[in-house]
Amino acid sequence: MKISEALRWAQNQLDSDTARLDAEVLLCHLLGVGRVYLFTHDDQDLGRQLNTFKKMIERRRCGEPVAHITGVREFWSLPLQVTPATLIPRPDTETLVEWCLDQELPATARVLDLGTGTGAIACALASERPGWSVTATDRSREALEVASRNKTQIGLENLELVNSDWFGSLTGLRFDLIVSNPPYIAEGDEHLSSGDVRFEPKTALVSGVSGLDDILIIAAGACEHFDGTGWLALEHGYDQGESVRDILENTGYRAVETIQDLAGQDRITVGFWSQP
Ligand code: GLN
């Protein structure tokens, strides 16, 4: 079967909004080529690779995320390894990375990424700012192994990975910037039963009945881990901006502000801590 025929066949099998794109991404991964290749070589015969492609399409047809089938997802132009032990990095989270890079922080800033998963945020910040010392935590050892492989593959020397349940293993450590994309979905939310999230760890997604349990813990705990002053930046759901601003203001943060993602949805809320 030719590339063009295989893609048409796959698109019909998948029957979703992203069918064509998914089929192209999977075939590119299998062939080890970029998307342009698929168009410039559309009459190339797939030969024995057709069978593997059909198996990949069958997994996708059953709902498995593309990132789990390929084992990689690009974030901030970094090809990150992904497994079912971690959340799949989302483009929304790049809003958080951008905000951090826009701040006037010391050239040798100490930065903490809580619940790092694949290491997406931490790897992006550490690679953009070689002078920063980035610490990234996760309570899941399996997730930390994935983050560690990503750290090694990118070759980051300014990133330290720590097995910690939020601030549990960080006693005495101080930072200039604390960030997190914590679990923030409410238990029982209907979004949990469709799409990629069905295949992601619930512990990385769900946070109590309101979805705000972990954000409350992080906002309160972070105050103990700034060196007098520092910024906190948290990702959250599109409808949680007001609640997160309230949490930060009630905890004593100043300059509290919510920032929208590229789709115009409330996505991150930030606050400045200054020791009273
Ligand atoms: N920090 C990771 C990410 O942004 C994981 C987030 C999570 O598991 N909630 O992809």
Q: Quick one: pLDDT band at residue 158, thresholds 50, 70, 90?
A: very high
CATH number of the domain within which 18 lies: 1.10.8
pLDDT, position 16:
84
**Shortest-distance atom of ligand 1 to CA 93:** 4
Residue 140 lies in a domain: yes
Q: How many domains does the chain have?
A: 2
Chain centroid to CA 251: how far? 26
Tokens read off for 274: 């200054």
Q: Is residue 276 over pLDDT 90?
A: no
CA of 272 to the centre of ligand 1 (A): 22
One domain for residues 88 and 149: yes
Q: Is residue 263 over pLDDT 90?
A: yes
**pLDDT over 70 percentage in the chain:** 100
In 3D space, the residue among 105, 119, 107, 202 whose CA is nearest the CA of residue 160 turns out to be 119
| Average pLDDT of the residues in 75-100 | 97
Nearest CA to ligand 1 atom 8: 204
For 237-255, the pLDDT digits (tens) are: 999 999 999 999 999 999 9
Q: Is 241 in the pocket of ligand 1 (CB under 6 A)?
A: no
CA of 181 to the centre of ligand 1 (A): 5
Q: Select from 74, 75, 118 the residue to mutate for testing ligand 1; criterion: most ligand atoms less than 8 Å from CB.
A: 118
With tokens 């809580």, the residue in question is 114
In 3D space, the residue among 195, 199, 215 whose CA is nearest the CA of residue 207 turns out to be 215
Q: Is residue 15 over pLDDT 90?
A: no
CATH number of the domain within which 218 lies: 3.40.50.150
Q: Is residue 37 over pLDDT 90?
A: yes
pLDDT, position 208:
92
**Shortest-distance atom of ligand 1 to CA 90:** 10
One domain for residues 157 and 217: yes
Q: Quick one: pLDDT band at residue 78, thresholds 50, 70, 90?
A: very high
One domain for residues 149 and 58: no
One domain for residues 100 and 209: yes
Q: Is 181 in the pocket of ligand 1 (CB under 6 A)?
A: yes
pLDDT, position 274:
96
Q: Which residues contact 103 (CB under 8 A, 6 or more apart)?
A: 177, 231
Residue 203 lies in a domain: yes
Domain span at 56: 3-62
